[in-house]
Structure formats: C-alpha cells, structure tokens
Amino acid sequence: MIPLDFLKIQRRGRVVRPLYLTNPAPAGLVLELAKSSRTVGEFRKAVESAGGDRKLLSGLAHIVERLSHVEEVDVKQVARVRVEVFKTSAEVGLALTPEARERIFHAAAERLKMGVEEVKRVFYKAYEDNRVIVQPPSVTPSELMEIYNLSLLQALLFKSLYVDLWLPNVATVVKSVVRAAKGHRLMYIAEERDGGLWIHFEGPASIFRQTERYGVKLAKLVPYITAAGVWRIEAEVKLNQRKYRLDESHEKAPPLPKRTPEVGEFDSTVEWEFYRQVSRVCSVEREPEALVVERRVYIPDFKIGDLYIEIVGFWTPDYLRRKYEKLSKANRPLLILVDEELAAATWGELMPNVVLYRGRPKLSDVYKYIKPHCRQ
C-alpha cells in the first residue's frame, strides 16, 4: 500500500474511485531511474527531478523501493558506532568544521578499533538515503502499473467506514478470503445473497481506537479479493470529513495482480497456539463445516465435540453483540474468545460464553467451557 499522501482519486459528486494509471510509461521511467541510481538517496533525487506528476511518480517510487533489494545494515553496529561518535563529540567539542569532524571520527575509530573510513561508512548507514540499491525490482512497467493500481485501491479502503465484498460462492475462493480475514483478525459478517457471498467488514474509520493498525490489515486483504477473478467491492469512504461511495469490481477496474498470497496451515499464531494447547487434552477440529443461520454463512475456527469456537480479533461491543446474536440463532453450543488488547472501542459487560484473553488464549482460560465437550 502506498502512503495516503500519494493517493490519487477521482470524485464525481459523492462517488469516489482510484485514479488508476493506464499508461505504463511513468512506471517504466521510475524503473529506469532505479536501475541507474546507486543509492536510495540518488533514486529519490532522480524521481524529484524527473518532473511530471509528482504524486504519481512518488507513489510508483515508493513501491519500487519496497520491491528493491536494498543493502542491509547491522542495526546494532550502527547504533554502537553512532553512540561512540557522539560521545567523542561531546568530549572534544562539536564538529563545526571539516577538520573537527575528521578529528572526531579518528578518535572514535581508535576507541572502536576500526578503520576511520569504515566508521564513517557505518555512521552514515543510519540514513536510508545512504543505503545501496543492490538489486532493483525485476518487474516490467506493466506489472509495476498493476501493483500501483492495486495499492491505490488499498489506500482508499484505509479511509473506509465499512466495506462490503461480493464473491462467487466457490469454496476455494471464499476460503482464501475468509482465512485471510481471520488471519488479519478483521471484523466481518457473511451472508449468502445475489448468487454469491457478501462479506461485510467494519472499516477503520468507523472505530475509535486501533484505526491505523486495523486499516493496514484491511488493506492487506485486497490482493486476496482481486485474486478471486470475479469480485465486487462497495464501501463508504471518509475523506476530509466528507463521505463518499466506492463501487468497484473486476469489470470496472483495470488489470490488477491476481496471484493469491500464500497462506499457512493456520491463519495466525493465535489460532496455532490455541490449537497446540487444547489439542493436548481434547480432539480439536479446525475449520469444520460452515453453518448457515438465516441465510448468513458462518465458518467457525474450531469445533470440540459439538462446541463451536470462534476467536475474534479486532472488535467493538456492537460488532460483538451482532456476531453473538447471529451465532446464537444456530442453536449450537458456542464459545467466543476475544482479545481485550484489540478492543476498538470502550466496552463494559460481555455476553455469556464470551471469554476475554490477553495476547493469546490460554488453556486455563477456556478449560471449564470445553471440558463437557471434550473427547480424547
């Protein structure tokens, strides 16, 4: 995702959509500038001097930097060298002249038992601009253009109040997106409608806390959506205190990257830790059959005997209440685990069979709930 400062959009009344790039020439220019630059600083100066649409080129450059193999530095060594240089400067006086600067570097090098030029090199590696571009990204201008356009859509959703996603109800497609949503611990409700599956996500602008953290995770879901091939996104976006409507789909959007991001066996370390602990005392089924409650689809995280278990990430009291009411209509034993550190608003009393945990749920938190359903 590109920073919001580089977001380019087009407005028509109360409708907003990304201002997609349709000509790969600017992407080609930025790639050539990266190939001809030795350091990150040289690349940034070259982009600034290129003229043209500053916001567009800066957005492309941001992606190119992210995709490039940039020189790695030993953070601990950089910190040690800089501390010694500043300590030396405090003792012998400020480096107000080139000669004084050289004396400080020589004294610091002697203390560190390093060469003077090596001390200088390490000292200045604290600044990104001085780091060498080892390998520019191996993408074509058209591929960079697609990544840039995807990043625009991601950045726009960062300002959303809510996001409604439609996907065809194909098991492989739905599972990929739902697992990604769970892995990023997003707040969502699913419903079967219009020949497919609608998934409603709470947007980062609709909550009072954790806004930036939640927004980044919601944006990370977009590649999974576009990988579906057939998709539609409806959202309400808040920009400069005004609300806009976003209605985007595979039919309207230009070509976007379709490679599905890899997912692990478990969606998150929280789920893995829960499974690891509980499976020592109970038989645990992961991602059992989907439940349909009043035409709404629910894919639980785990099942122990006849007890369904859901681990919730970001949450608000209202979201938790709606989720609980929906699941309780399934008339199945239910346990919901919520991380109190990810509360996105103030909360008070919780519903029955809702258990708080901090960081990761522990067996001791849930044992009394799962014991009646346990099978060895």
Domain for residue 342, yes or no? yes
Domain for residue 40, yes or no? no
CATH code assigned at 315: 3.40.1350
Domain for residue 131, yes or no? no
Domain for residue 150, yes or no? yes
> For the segment 1-36, what is each residue's pLDDT rounded down to a tens digit?
798 899 999 999 999 999 999 999 999 999 999 999
Domain for residue 317, yes or no? yes
310 has which bridge partners? 336
> What confidence category does residue 294 fall into, taking pLDDT thresholds of 50, 70 and 90?
low
Question: Which one of 205, 229, 262 terminates a domain?
Answer: 262
Question: Which one of 262, 291, 310 terminates a domain?
Answer: 262
Domain for residue 369, yes or no? yes
pLDDT at 134 over 70: yes
Query: Backbone phi, then psi, for 196, in 5-degree steps?
Result: -160, -150
Q: How far is CA 241 from CA 37, 135, 168, 208, 233, in A?
A: 40, 42, 34, 15, 22
Clarify whether residues 257 and 276 are in a common domain. no
Q: 331 is written with which tokens?
A: 């008339």
Clarify whether residues 279 and 356 are in a common domain. yes
Buried b (16+ CB within 10 A) or exposed e, 111-143: ebebeeeebbebbebeeeebbebeebbebebeb
> What confidence category does residue 355 fall into, taking pLDDT thresholds of 50, 70 and 90?
confident
pLDDT at 194 over 80: yes
Clarify whether residues 157 and 221 are in a common domain. yes
Q: 322 is written with which tokens?
A: 């709606």
CA distance 335 to 323: 12
The residue among 55 and 329 whose pLDDT is bigger is 55
CA distance 218 to 115: 48
CB 8 within 8 A of CB 60: no
Question: Which one of 241, 262, 283 terminates a domain?
Answer: 262
Clarify whether residues 188 and 284 are in a common domain. no
Clarify whether residues 315 and 337 are in a common domain. yes
Clarify whether residues 279 and 350 are in a common domain. yes
pLDDT at 322 over 60: yes
> What confidence category does residue 37 fall into, taking pLDDT thresholds of 50, 70 and 90?
very high
* Model-wide pTM > 0.85: no
Domain for residue 193, yes or no? yes
Domain for residue 68, yes or no? no
Clarify whether residues 361 and 284 are in a common domain. yes
Clarify whether residues 307 and 339 are in a common domain. yes
CA distance 251 to 248: 8
Nearest to 181 by CA among 201, 196, 167, 195: 201
Least confident stretch, 116-120, 142-146, 151-155: 116-120
The residue among 26 and 124 whose pLDDT is bigger is 26
CB 207 within 8 A of CB 217: no
DSSP secondary structure string for all residues of 243-267: EEEEEEETTTS-----PPPP--SSS
Clarify whether residues 192 and 239 are in a common domain. yes
Domain that holds residue 97: 86-123
Least confident stretch, 38-52, 212-226, 242-256, 322-336: 322-336
> For the segment 221-271, what is each residue's pLDDT rounded down to a tens digit?
899 999 888 999 999 998 888 999 999 999 999 999 876 555 455 656 788
Question: How many domains are contained in the chain?
Answer: 3
pLDDT at 346 over 60: no
**Region 89-99 average pLDDT:** 83
What's the mean pLDDT when you consider all of the chain?
A: 85
The residue among 149 and 273 whose pLDDT is bigger is 149
CB 250 within 8 A of CB 258: no
